[in-house]
A and B are shown apart, each in its own frame.
Chain A
Amino acid sequence: MLTSQTRRRLLKVVGVFFLSHTIEIKAASVTAPTDLERSTFATFLDVLLPRDEFTGSATDLHVDRELLSFAESDPRFKRLIELGCQWLNMTGGPPFAKLTTEQQIALVDWMTSSDFNQIPRRFYELVRLTAIEMYFSQPAAWHGLAIKRPPQPTGYPPPWV
């Protein structure tokens, strides 16, 4: 679950974006994610946070499930995911999930420098931030870091090097 603080931050940003772009959201019209949307979103998350020699990928740590679960409770975030996934699948070729890894990375790389006020960039920025939070809040993501456990109850008593 997203914390209430994260949820408020996220919804504020998403809300401002939709308001400024006069994108209408009707809660009743928002449907469950399709299989294509699920696979696109999961693939996108794994491009953001891939598996490597130390730690698993975003989907290994169930970040996709958490974010889609959150989206179920908020039509605006869900709509942003829908629009983002639609855009990822608009290359004219195979769906995003079927592209080669290099093609996927190239597409996401383009998103990072696209117009901040358009769907691709806003989708990238918001999903990146929330995915990072879900991912790095799990000890399974801490291998290779100087942090091994939560700050309490033991703290970090001196001496320090």
Chain B
Amino acid sequence: MGMKTRYDAVVVGSGAGGAAAAWRLCEQGLHVLMLEAGPRFDPASDYKLHQPDWERYLFPNPPGSQGSFTIGKLDQLDPADEDLHSWNRASGRLVRDGTRQAMGPGYWHVQGVGGTTLHFVGESHRLHPDAMKLKSRHGVGCDWPIDYADLEPYYTLCEQLVGVAGPSEQGARWRTQPYPLPPHPLSPSAQRLVAAGQRIGMHWQENSRAALSVPFDGRPACNYCGNCSRGCPLGDKGSADVTFIRKAEASKRLTIKARCPVVHIHAGITGNISAIEYLDNRTLHRVETPILILAAGAVQTPRLLLANRNRRQHRCLANGSGQVGRNFMETLSWSSSGLVPELANSHVGLPSDAISWDFNAPDGIPGTIGGCRFSSSTQDTGFTGPIAYASRVVTGFGKQLKSGVRASFGSIMSVGATGEFLPNEGTYIDLDTKKKDQLGIPVPRLHSHLSHMEIARLKFMASQTRLLLKKAGAELVEEIGAWDHFSATHVFGTCRMGSDSRSSVVDATCRSHDHPNLYITDASVFPSSGGGEAPSLTIHALAVRTADAIVSGKMLPRSSRLA
């Protein structure tokens, strides 16, 4: 074993939550060790957008850059909901065997310094205030133990740090300060979408984006290449590596160890987490944990807790409530794409640059509880290069194929919708009893079931996107949705936050009910998913709020009060 080294706090995971918590602790004078299981990427050499064959690469995935997991048996598809099947013009139906299937890996994430923010498109959303009170106001799901007003100062702080560009108002999302940067110009595709929305009375506006509309804080402005999710080589996208981590490292109080997966978490007699063990270049190291912050995401955080047991009580860590891994909420998404006459250059501009919040409130969709939002998604869905058009839009072969690509390129308009996912008994994470990772730790297994409320929401999302495309004069060429595809980008809920230790894993400051020096600062603490909001800003805000609670001393265990 390596030498013991003492830090004020240890953070596991360097994505949206780990990075924000570490930054705030460092800013307050604490020395922080950040352990990241994945690699540290070099945007200049790892990202491929400058290469001729750029379109063949998604975000890079070198060994260790994705956590291991398996997916449980997915739903049989009900023929009654057939109009929700995924298809495109070139390949026809994309799921043919009557069972919901994983699309790509099924769970899209990045394990690396910056975490999944490295491949997010960078939407920066505040939750709808009512989405935090689903149980008390709408009788479903679960309430948050805090409300929007508790988060608002932290939203503002994080928007300032990241450099969010946004509009002057966003309805129910009241704000005490304007966005730090002006909104981005709407892309050609978004302009057509906004016009179509106006024809059916929808209110569309510029989306709030963690991408710089003007130079800011030493970072350049976006140049609108449209491929944020493949990795931003400029550094204008507000991923955690160029924002919170950069600033934390500048404090000289942050030590980052990449490619250092955690192997064991040790709970002491008092209930405190006494130490963790991690691997660094095949050597096992032990480090004491006056404060331990888990921020490995809503899949790997519960896995770490379920895979580590309290030696005396032989129970999983932090699981007095039995809720670790339960209440998993995944991404309920839909997109429709169509060819729009006389639309050109739809491949340029910022992804998700326009948004409509009209149906985002929990009671926004007729006939079901839980909202959704609509956004422009032409670039998000990958219609940024000729390979996408040739493989998804144009049928056949030969000269017809080549001329079809030339005729259609730049004419796609996509509309995306993301909706609330309510917790249900069939959607959870446990440990796979048959598969272990290279360290011998059981991998997490993702279980997903769509309830009738999710199906109802999906149907509304599909009908509205189709209506928008119809009003734009589009000819439908592709539809992809969560009914037959399990494709989770946003995941939540597996260590839910709450006031009652019998039904939640952490309290309102994200501190474990069971272990006084254990905190969780990722989306696993979300009691509800929101009505389609991107979660990164809320994760940041919660994490900074947790760090403030730690530093205030109120939440520290007696044995580890900070100087």
The answer, yes or no, to whether A97 is at the interface (CB within 8 Å) is no
Answer yes or no: A116 CB below 8 A from chain B CBs: yes
Picked from B58, B96, B390, the residue with its CB within 8 Å of the CB of A132 is B390
A160 touching B96, Cβ below 8 Å: no
Name which of A3, A146, A151 has the most chain B CB atoms within 10 A of its CB. Answer: A151
- Taking CB atoms and an 8 Å cut-off, the chain A residues in 1-18 that contact chain B are 3-6, 9
The answer to whether A137 and B53 have CB atoms under 8 Å apart is yes
Q: A47-B397, A132-B391, A160-B188 are in contact. Are A150 and B386 (CB under 8 A)?
A: no
Contact call B409/A145, Cβ cutoff below 8 A:
yes
Separation of A48 and B402 alpha carbons in the complex (Å):
9
Q: CB of A28 within 8 A of chain B?
A: no
Contact A158 B185 (CB under 8 A): yes
Tell me which residues from 327 to 365 in chain B have a Cβ below 8 Å from any Cβ of chain A.
Answer: 344-345, 347-349
B225 within 8 A of A: yes
Cβ of B91 within 8 Å of any chain A Cβ, yes or no, is yes
**Contact mask B381-395 → A, CB, 8 Å, 1/0?**
000111100110000
Q: Is the CB of A49 within 8 A of B401?
A: yes
Q: How far is the CA of A106 from the CA of B391 in the complex (A)?
A: 21
Known: A137-B56, A144-B406, A145-B406. A153 touches B233 (CB 8 A): yes
| Cβ 8 A contact of A161, one of B96, B185, B345 | B345
Query: A112-B397, A145-B406, A158-B185 in contact; A136/B224 too (CB < 8 A)?
Result: no
Q: Does B238 contact A (CB under 8 A)?
A: no
Give chain B nearest CB distance to A132 CB in angstroms.
Answer: 4
Which residues of chain A are near B54, meaning CB under 8 Å? Answer: 137, 150-152
CB pair B387–A132 under 8 Å, yes or no, is: yes
Docked-complex contact A48 and B406, CB < 8 angstroms: no
Does the CB pair A3–B185 fall under 8 Å?
no
Assembled-state Cα–Cα distance A9/B105 (Å): 10
Contact of B397 with A147 in the complex, beta carbons under 8 Å: no
Please, how many angstroms separate the alpha-carbon atoms of A19 and B397 in the complex? 28
Instruction: Please report the C-alpha to C-alpha distance between residue A55 and residue B226 in the assembled complex, in whole angstroms.
Output: 26
Contact code string B97-131 (vs A, CB < 8 Å = 1, else 0):
00000001000000000000000000000000000
User: In the complex, what residue of chain A is closest to B57 when comparing beta carbons?
Assistant: A3
Interface check A83, CB cutoff 8 A: no
B398 contacts the other chain (CB 8 A): yes
In the bound complex, CA of A7 to CA of B148 (Å): 46
Chain B residues in 8 Å Cβ range of A133: 56, 387, 391
Query: How does the 8 Å CB contact mask read for A115-131 relative to B, with 1 for contact and 0 for none?
Result: 01000000001001100
A151 touching B227, Cβ below 8 Å: yes
User: Does B396 lie at the interface of the complex (its beta carbon under 8 Å from any beta carbon of A)?
Assistant: yes
Counting CB contacts under 8 A, is A94 at the interface?
A: no
Q: Determine whether B50 belongs to the interface, using a CB cutoff of 8 Å to chain A.
A: yes
Q: Return the contact of B391 from the options A5, A129, A146 (Cβ within 8 A).
A: A129
0/1 string, B36-54, CB within 8 A of A gives 1: 0000000000000111111
Cβ of A68 < 8 Å from any Cβ of B? no
Residues of B within 8 A of A125 (CB): 91
Q: Of the candidates B50, B226, B234, B387, which one forms a contact with A136 in the assembled complex, judged by CB atoms under 8 Å apart?
A: B387
A49→B394 CA distance, assembly (Å): 13
Instruction: Decide if B451 is an interface residue (CB 8 Å cutoff).
Output: no
Is A150 within 8 A of B51, CB to CB?
A: yes
A residues less than 8 Å from B403 (CB atoms): 52
Nearest residue, chain B, Cβ from A159: B185
Q: How far is the CB of A66 from chain B (nearest CB, A)?
A: 11
What is the bound-complex CA distance between A157 and B224, given in angstroms? 6
Q: Give the contacting residue for A128; candidates B56, B57, B397; CB below 8 A.
A: B397
A108 within 8 A of B: yes
Beyond A112-B396, A155-B223, whether A150 also contacts B52 by CB under 8 A is yes
| Alpha-carbon separation in the docked complex, A142 to B58 (Å) | 20
Q: Are A155 and B224 in contact (CB under 8 A)?
A: yes
A145 with B386: CB separation less than 8 A: yes
Instruction: Let me know if B409 and A146 touch, CB within 8 A.
Output: yes
Query: 0/1 per residue, A21-57, Cβ < 8 Å to B?
Result: 0000000000000000000000000011110101100
A160 and B391 form a contact (CB under 8 A):
no
B residues in contact with A6, CB < 8 Å: 56
A5, A52, A108, A157: the one contacting B61 at CB < 8 Å is: A5
Bound-complex Cα distance A108 to B399 (A): 13
**CB pair A156 B397 closer than 8 Å:** no
Which residues A96-112 have CB closer than 8 A to chain B?
A: 105, 108, 112
Cβ–Cβ < 8 Å partners of A161 in chain B:
188, 344-345
CA distance A52 to B275 in the complex (A): 67
A85 to B347 CA separation, bound complex (whole angstroms):
37
Q: Is the CB of A136 within 8 A of B349?
A: no
- Quote the shortest CB–CB distance from A40 to chain B (angstroms): 16
Q: With A129-B391, A156-B349 as known contacts, state yes or no: A3 contacts B227, CB within 8 Å.
A: no
Q: Are B409 and A147 in contact (CB under 8 A)?
A: yes
A147 and B398 contact, CB distance less than 8 A: no
A47-B398, A105-B398, A147-B409 given; A141·B386 CB < 8 A: yes
> CB within 8 A of A150: which of B49, B185, B187, B348?
B49
A156 touches B225 (CB 8 A): yes
Within 8 Å CB of B96, what residues of A? 116
Q: How far is the CA of A5 from the CA of B387 in the complex (A)?
A: 15
Rank and list the top 4 A-B pairs by shortest CB-CB distance, nearest first.
A155-B223, A151-B225, A156-B348, A137-B53
A: residues with CB less than 8 A from B are 3-6, 9, 47-50, 52, 54-55, 105, 108, 112, 116, 125, 128-129, 132-133, 135-139, 141-142, 144-147, 150-158, 160-161
- Contact sample, A vs B, 24 pairs, CB 8 Å cutoff: A5-B61, A48-B401, A49-B398, A49-B402, A50-B398, A108-B397, A125-B91, A129-B391, A132-B391, A142-B386, A146-B410, A147-B385, A150-B52, A151-B49, A151-B50, A151-B54, A151-B226, A151-B384, A152-B54, A152-B234, A156-B226, A156-B345, A157-B224, A160-B349
